[in-house]
Amino acid sequence: MTSPTSTTDHRHAALTWSLIHAERAALAADLAELTEQRWATQSLCDRFTVREVLAHLTAGAGLNPVRWMAGVIRCRFDFDRQVAMRLAEHIGATPADTLARFRQVTTSTTKPPLPIVAMLGETIVHGEDIRRPLGIERDYPVTTLTAVADYYQALICPSSPKDASAACS
């Protein structure tokens, strides 16, 4: 017999994955007509172009916990080095290649050892890292932004009063 908690958790996970898939699809659609030159635009991630950030999102959608940890060990716990290694694996030969690779993982439910909602946050935040320098606006669904905001708020302001930081009081 399935417990009510596990059924609820499964539904919540399925809902969160559907939000992630919708945001990935929206980002792919927004980038579909980008010119070669615009792919080289500096993103809001200071070291990366919009194309490189998209490759980073592609990498994240294909990394399970074992592959993630193997990469961390291979890069001797240098996380910047691991990001560079994964980016090189997923960048593709051309911008069209990069976008095609991202489209292939649009509905992926593979993730590193993070909460599912953190993957939604990654998709939203890096989507903005890409869209804003390109002048592309996204009207996000309120439920999507609420899920991400609730997650980040819980990280910053734990529910236990003894754990609450000064920023939460």
131-154 per-position pLDDT tens digit: 999 999 999 999 999 999 999 999
**What single-letter amino acid sits at 131?**
R
User: Does residue 2 surpass a pLDDT of 70?
Assistant: no
Q: Residue 97 and residue 61: Cα distance in Å, rounded?
A: 16
DSSP 53: H
9 found inside a domain = no
Q: Is residue 1 part of a domain?
A: no
* Within-domain flag for 28: yes
Q: How far, in Å, are 89, 109, 159 from residue 32 at the CA level?
A: 21, 23, 42
* Structural domain includes residue 10: no
Percent above pLDDT 90 for the chain: 67
Confidence of residue 6 (pLDDT cuts 50, 70, 90): confident
Q: How far is CA 58 from CA 32, 90, 98, 117, 122, in A?
A: 16, 7, 9, 17, 11
- Report if residue 7 sits inside a domain: no
Question: Would you say 110 and 9 are in contact if contact means Cβ atoms under 8 Å apart?
Answer: no
| Stated length of the chain | 169
pLDDT tens column, 106-126: 999 999 999 999 999 999 999
In a domain, 48, yes or no: yes
CB atoms within 10 A of CB 146: 11
What are the start-end ranges of the E strands in the chain? none
**Per-residue CA distances from 85 to 51, 96, 167 (Å):** 15, 20, 36
Range of the domain at 131: 15-160
Overall number of domains in the chain: 1
Q: How far apart are CA 33 and CA 51, in angstroms?
A: 13
